[in-house]
Amino acid sequence: MKGKFKINKDKIGRLLPEIFESRGYGKEGFNLIKNIGALASSIDLKAFIIGGFVRDVLLYSLLKDKKTFQRYKKAKIFLKNELDLDVIVLGSAHRLTSLLSKDHPGIFKIERIKLHKDFGTSSVVFSVNGKPLKIDFASSRTESYRSHGALPSVNINGSTLSEDVVRRDFTINTIALSLNPEDLFSLKDTAGGISDILDKKISILHDLSFNDDPTRIFRAVRFEQRLGFRISGKTLSVMKEALNGNSMDGVSGKRIVSEFDHFFNENSPWIFFERLKKLGALKSVHQCLSFEGINKEAFKNISMNSIRYSFGKKGSQKLFIIFMAALLCSLPPALFDDVSKRLGLDSRVKGRIYLINREISDLEGLSMNFVKNMKGSEIYKILKKFSDEGLIYYVLREKWDKINKGIYLREGILDYLAKIRFVKPSLTGDDLKKAGITEGKLCGQVLGELKLLKIDGMLRTKTDELSYVLQNYGNKE
C-alpha cells in the first residue's frame, strides 16, 4: 500500500484549487492561502496549515486515485459545507493576523477577527467568493496538563513544528502543509501521520494522551468511525487504561456534551454511540448512561430518518435536543436528573427534553383521532399545541418505512411540519381595520378563521379573503 501512494507538492498544488472550487470558494480560496504564506514570508515567519484539513486533503487524493479509491471509499471527508482551517505559525501568530487585517484590505476581505492574547491565537473569518472561510491562527507552542481533563497551560515559547505537534490528538492530525512561497505546499510529517493514514490507523502521540485530555477518547471514535479507520492496538490499550482509571471524572459535562454534539452532526450518529458503548466510554461518563433497548432504537431511527427530513430554522439546535432526548428517554425521573447534572444540562435543555417525553405520550393517545385524507384545518387544530421537537421526535423515532397503526398521525404530522403550520392569511390586522373590524378580539378570531380556510384551500387569494370578510362580518360592528 505504502509503495503505491505518491504525494508531492505539485500534486497538492493541483488538488487544492479543485477542493476550494468544489466547496464554492472559487479561485479566491486557493489564492487566499497562498497570500497568507507570502505575507508570512515577508515578515520572516513560517506558516503551515495543519490538522483536519491536511488530513482530508490527503484522503481526497487517495479517493481520487483509481488504485486507492476502494480502500478509502467509506471515508466521509469535508463533512461541513464551510471549510475550517488551522494555521500554525512558527513565531507570533498575532503579528501575522494584525498585518493581514490592517495593511492589506484589498487582498484579504475579513468579516470578523478575534484575538486571544493569553493563548497567542486569533480566529479570522474571511469572506471568500462571498462565503465565510474560518481560519484559526496559533503560534507554535507546547502545552502541559496540571490535572486530568482540565484545560492545559500554554507555553508560547517559539517551539519547533515537531515540538508543537506533541500536544495534538492523533498522528493523522499532525501533518503540516507549508504555505511559504519558498516551500509552497511541501508536507512536514514529523510524527508519522502519512504512514498512519496509509495504514488507516488512529494513533495517539504519547502514552499520557488520554489522561491529559480524556475527550480525545471521543475524538478517536469520531475519526475512526467517520473515516473507516481503526484505533491502533496500542492506542486502544492506553485508552482502556485511562477509562479504567476513571479519567473521565475530571472532564466537565459541558465538554462531554460538546463532543456528543459533534457526533450528532456526523452521518449516522448511532454508529458512533454504538462504538462508545462497546468501549465503555458512555458508562465512564455516568454509570446509567446506556445505549440499548428503547433509547438505542429511537436514537438509531432518528439517525437514519433525519437525513430525509429538513429541520428548517435553528435545525442544529432542534437536532441536538432530539438526540439528547433519545439518549436519555429510558431513564426514570430521578436518574434523568442525575445524568443531566453530570452532563451539565441547563434547565432550558432539561425542560425541552421533559416536554418531548410528555408530548410523545400525548401524541400516542391521539393516533385514533387521525384518519385517511383528514382536512388540514383539523390536523392544525390538534397539533398546534405541540412543540416542533416533540412532533419531529415522534415521526423520526420509528422505522420510517414500517407501516403501523399510527400511520395517519405520522402523515398528519409530516404535513403539518412541512406545510400546514406555515400557512398565513394574506390579510393583516390593518386590512381588517380598513374593512371595519376594529375590535382586537374579533380581529384575532377572523384571522384564525381565514387561516383555517386557507389551509383547506377554500380561500386562495387576498381578494377571496376580503370578500369572505365583507360577506360574513361586513355589518357586524
**Site residues for ligand ATP per CB under 6 A:** 51-52, 84, 86, 168-169, 173, 213, 215-216, 219
Antiparallel, parallel or unpaired: β 187-188 and 176-178: antiparallel
Residues 6+ apart with CB under 8 A from 351: none
DSSP state of 152: P
User: Across 157-303, where does the E strand assignment appear?
Assistant: 176-178, 187-188, 201-202, 230-231
Q: How far is the CB of 167 from ligand ATP (least distance, A)?
A: 6
Complex with ligand ATP: residue 123 or 357, whichever CB lies closer = 123
State residue 111 phi and psi, 5-degree precision: -85, -45
As a whole number of angstroms, the distance between CA 38 and CA 99 comes to 12
We find the least distance from the C-beta atom of residue 323 to ligand ATP, in angstroms, to be 17
**Contact present, 89 and 137 (Cβ < 8 Å):** yes
Closest to ligand ATP by CB, 138 vs 391, is: 138
Which helix (H) or strand (E) is 272 found in, with range?
helix 269-279
Q: What's the min distance (Å) between Cβ of 30 and ligand ATP?
A: 19
Tell me how far apart the alpha carbons of residues 178 and 188 are, in angstroms, rounded to a whole number. 7
279/446 with CB nearer ligand ATP: 279
Tell me how crowded residue 240 is: count the other CB atoms within 10 A of its CB.
Answer: 14
Q: Which is nearer to ligand ATP, 86 or 389 (CB)?
A: 86
Closest residue to bound ligand ATP by CB: 52
- Considering the complex, what minimum distance in angstroms separates the CB of residue 410 from ligand ATP? 33
**CA angle, 145 as apex, 141 and 146 as ends, to 5°?**
135
- Residue number with CB closer to ligand ATP (259 or 359): 259
Q: Which residues contact 344 (CB under 8 A, 6 or more apart)?
A: 252, 253, 254, 257
> Which residue lies nearer to ligand ATP by CB, 217 or 435?
217
C-alpha cell recorded at residue 376: 388540514
Find the shortest distance in angstroms from Cβ 78 to ligand ATP.
8
Please, what is the minimum distance in Å from the beta carbon of residue 92 to ligand ATP? 19
By beta-carbon proximity to ligand ATP, the closer residue of 86 and 189 is 86
Smallest separation, CB 170 to ligand ATP (Å): 7
